[in-house]
Amino acid sequence: MNQLGIFMNFWEKNWAADHAKYIRKVAALGYDILEFQAQPLLEMSDEHIRDLKKLADAEGIRLTYSLGLDPHYDVSSLDEGVRSGGVKYLQNIIRKMAIGGGDLLSGVSYAGWGTPNVVMEDKSAYWNQSVKSMKEIIKTAEDCGVTYCVEAVNRFESCIINTAAEALAYIAEIDSPNIGVLLDTYHMNIEETGIGDAIRLVGAERMKNFHTGENNRTPPGKGHLNWEEIFGALHDIGYTGPIVSEPFVMQGGEVGRDIHVFRDLIADPTEAGIDAEAAALLRFEKNMLQRFACGVSL
Ligand code: MN
């Protein structure tokens, strides 16, 4: 069965938090993976990163990373100074990940998170800058044994890669075994004509990570996405990689600001309430995987 994971900021309103606490928590809940923002690694000593890795190994948890790139480090910038600074910044994050055995980086990691507020007839200038940057970044990823996953996100969060087809075109230009695609059900719901078709277009070989979240970023099973279509398509392509849930349900903090959460989206946003939601989410996804693994049709 696929490894199942959850993003730490289901619980936390700020990006950096007590990672050790959440390694223990998600292990106790029965998850295989804890994913969190990679940027806080830059503030951590190498010793602390190694300690977290030891704890994760003892708890049987794989640590994976995501990021929304600070626009000050926008590797698609037309300003060469910003672009080259962004390349160094991402290379440093990859090196920090490798210290703790991290091997999977996802997110808006190919451009600044957000869209340029300019009149633009086409985006090729930004795309080309991003590709130029990624050809440098990917060499560090290759050296460090990190797989770099570009995440197709909705139009309000990037102008570079909005669809599965664009993600595939992008990684074809980079041409490295260390680059792959991440599809996220929340973003696909906005941008794709068909979610199942987008999953099948990418295929198992190039899909290196998969994010689940509802149409409004509540936990899978709570909104109006068609989970039979989604898990059916993952089954169709023989996807065996990670499936990481990424619900954002609380207003406030850096997460509320950056994800645009302006109301609580679950009835009980206390730690105990979210623990219960996380347990139910894991049961829901295991059940979906088992149904398709057993060939149970609708
Ligand atoms: Mn995502």
Give the CA radius of gyration of the chain: 18
Reduce the DSSP state of residue 270 to 3 states and report it: coil
Active-site annotation holds for 151: yes
User: Ligand 1 centroid to 106 CA: how many Å?
Assistant: 8
User: Ligand 1 centroid to 66 CA: how many Å?
Assistant: 8
Reduce the DSSP state of residue 214 to 3 states and report it: coil
Beta-bridged to residue 4, according to DSSP, are 243
Q: What is the pLDDT of residue 273?
A: 97
Q: What is the pLDDT of residue 138?
A: 98
pLDDT in tens, the chain (298 residues): 899 999 999 999 999 899 999 999 999 999 999 999 999 999 999 999 999 999 999 999 999 999 999 999 999 999 999 999 999 999 999 999 999 999 999 999 999 999 988 999 999 999 999 999 999 999 999 999 999 999 999 999 999 999 999 999 999 999 999 999 999 999 999 999 999 999 999 999 999 999 999 999 999 999 999 999 999 999 999 999 999 999 999 999 999 999 999 999 999 999 999 999 999 999 999 999 999 988 755 4
For the beta carbon of residue 30, count every other beta carbon within 10 angstroms: 12
User: Ligand 1 centroid to 283 CA: how many Å?
Assistant: 20
CA distances from 85 to 82, 144, 249 (A): 5, 20, 33
User: Ligand 1 centroid to 184 CA: how many Å?
Assistant: 5
User: Ligand 1 centroid to 107 CA: how many Å?
Assistant: 6
Of 51, 67, 145, 143, residue with least CA distance to 103: 145
Residue 76 Rama label (left phi>0; alpha psi -120 to 50; beta): alpha
Q: What is the pLDDT of residue 116?
A: 87
Could you tell me where the DSSP H helices lie in the chain? Answer: 19-29, 46-59, 80-99, 124-144, 164-174, 185-191, 195-206, 227-237, 253-259, 271-293
- Out of 151, 166, 192, 277, the active site residue is 151
For 68, list phi and psi in degrees, rounded to 5. -110, 110
- Out of 35, 157, 192, 246, the active site residue is 246
Question: What is the C-alpha to C-alpha distance for residues 123 and 159, in angstroms, rounded to an integer?
Answer: 7
Q: What is the pLDDT of residue 294?
A: 81
Reduce the DSSP state of residue 107 to 3 states and report it: strand
Residues in CB range of 16: below 8 A, 6 or more apart: 37, 39, 40, 43
Q: What is the pLDDT of residue 296?
A: 57
pTM: 0.96
Question: What is the C-alpha to C-alpha distance for residues 144 and 131, in angstroms, rounded to an integer?
Answer: 20
User: Ligand 1 centroid to 185 CA: how many Å?
Assistant: 8
Instruction: Indicate the burial class of 132 (C-beta count within 10 angstroms; 0-12, 13-18, 19 or more).
Output: middle
Instruction: Indicate the burial class of 18 (C-beta count within 10 angstroms; 0-12, 13-18, 19 or more).
Output: exposed
One DSSP character per residue, 237-262 reads HT--S-EEE------SHHHHHHHT--
Question: What is the C-alpha to C-alpha distance for residues 90 and 133, in angstroms, rounded to an integer?
Answer: 10
User: Ligand 1 centroid to 48 CA: how many Å?
Assistant: 26
